[in-house]
Amino acid sequence: CRARRSDQDLVSVAVVGGDLVVNKRGLGRGAWLCRDQNCVINAGKTKAFSRAFRSSLADAVCADTVLCWLGKPTH
């Protein structure tokens, strides 16, 4: 959604050694995401993960991983 939020309302994601790591700061190429389920799903649909990480990771898998970490049902 690109809205400005406090750190408590965001989750950090990074790629470390080809793996997606959730909420570990200072590791690899990272990005920040809203904790909102719709924002995570939209990031997967618009290939935001691939762009942010400059990687060919599957965007849907990244979105599902973040949603699982947040304890939200995956799509």
How much is the average pLDDT of 11-18?
86
Residue 32 — left, alpha, or beta (φ > 0 → left; ψ -120 to 50 → alpha)? beta
**pLDDT for the residue numbered 74:** 65
pLDDT tens digits along 17-75: 888 888 776 677 788 999 899 999 999 999 998 888 888 778 888 898 899 988 887 65
Residue range 34-46, pLDDT digits in tens: 989 999 999 999 9
Residue 70 token pair: 């947040």
Query: Residue 44: how many CB atoms within 10 A of its CB?
Result: 22
